[in-house]
Amino acid sequence: MNKPGVLFNLKEWLTIPDAARHLSTIFDESVTEADILRLGLDGHLTISVYFVNHTDAKHMNIVPIEDVYSEVLCDSLEEFANDHFWENGRRLKSPLLIGDFHSSVWEKGKPDYLDTKSPNFQKYKNSPVRMPMGVNWGGGQWLNYSSGDVETISGIWDLAMAGAELLDLEQEWQQLTGGPDVTLPTLDGTFVRTLDGEIYQLQESMDQNENVSGSLAQLEKLKKYIEANNFKKDEADKLIAKHAEERKLYIDEKNARPYSADYYPAGGLPEDSVLVVRTEALMELQNQIAGPKNCSTNDLSPRTEKAYLNAIGALLSCLTGDFKETTFSSEAELRKFIDKKYDGYYGLKSRTLAEKFAAAKKSINEAE
């Protein structure tokens, strides 16, 4: 395996074409842009996005299904069972919350807890049936909006590979390889994450939607329509004036509702964003392929080394430093403590620590 160029270590990210050229040099074989995207789609390489002109997003909390925001689907399990919702091949693609019990997704037939003789039915027959309204994140975890406030984000963000961003990446790969267009829909939105694992859902303003009456996007569409059809000036002026009236109504309605109510989950990555790969992610891939015996401490990126040093420093504080008198009943409690005490320190979010601790335990066990 060849060594990277001098400038590589000074860069935080590379474009997809540059990443392909870099890996071609490192591995001494041809690596294409399509290969880079496929590595990302298959989970071997973290693909990121550069928001050139900023974008809007909402922060999401990862919570267990018991804590996800939900709405009442039926006043009681007994009423739900009598509604025959499950008959005639009906499927439910979301679990249900019934008291302190949550059901599994069923594909067909009658689920056991709707059997009036089953223990679960007898226990929960008077409990309301609720449907989770968050985003199913897998592994029993769901996404809730942390506050609902819209934030402006910029710079480099990792693709979460769970929503429309996954489909966007697949579409790029299909185009590069001569494949078909990706037509799969998703209603969950588009997700990116920070290096510490915080999840954000991208947002679009109603003003960016050409189907919203009075929006700026609709005005741009109208101007293109007028130009394409060679409308006379008086006819064009009438259409523009009509839009101006609709625009005033849109602004009045927008000002009458909360700021965040003018936004909805984006259906994909912004057109003015650029797919990139962080140099740290490329180094992780190189180390993964080279294997642990061929890696040295010099192969760690500055960011990764910083995260490990911060984690070691925090653990030392808990063992022999300022917090040595504090006791922890579980690893989860320790992670939450470090997350709170070292808020803002790189690599010390509870979710990031959980991944690092799991990898550390695996490494120790494999060494035995």
H-state helical runs in 134-272: 164-176, 216-228, 233-256
User: Predicted confidence band at 85 (pLDDT cuts at 50, 70, 90)?
Assistant: low
**Any idea how long the chain is?**
368
Please, which pLDDT band fits residue 108 given cuts at 50, 70 and 90? low
d(CA 344, CA 313): 14
Confidence band for 196, pLDDT divided at 50, 70 and 90: confident
The domain limits of the chain are: 6-61+143-202+267-278, 70-133, 206-265, 301-367
As a whole number of angstroms, the distance between CA 362 and CA 292 comes to 13
pLDDT tens per residue, range 214-263: 999 999 999 999 999 999 999 999 999 999 999 999 999 999 999 899 99
Rg (CA), the chain: 26
Task: Identify the band that residue 106 occupies on the pLDDT scale cut at 50, 70 and 90.
Answer: low
Report the chain's mean pLDDT, rounded to a whole number: 87
φ/ψ (deg, to 5) at 59: -75, 140
Q: What is the DSSP letter of 260?
A: G
Pairwise pLDDT comparison (4 vs 119), residue with the higher score: 119
Residues 147-195 pLDDT 10s: 889 999 999 999 999 999 999 999 999 999 999 999 988 888 999 999 8
Q: What's the CA gap between 252 and 319, in Å, rounded?
A: 59
Instruction: Choose between 31 and 80: higher pLDDT.
Output: 31
pLDDT of residue 2: 76
Query: pLDDT tens digits for 137-156?
Result: 877 788 988 888 999 999 99
Q: Give the H or E element holding residue 119.
A: helix 119-124
Global pTM exceeds 0.85? no
What is the distance between the alpha carbons of residues 96 and 65, in angstroms, rounded to a whole number? 9
User: Can you give the pLDDT at residue 84?
Assistant: 57
CA 57 to CA 51: how far, in whole Å?
A: 12
| Among 123, 124, 145, CA closest to 134 | 145
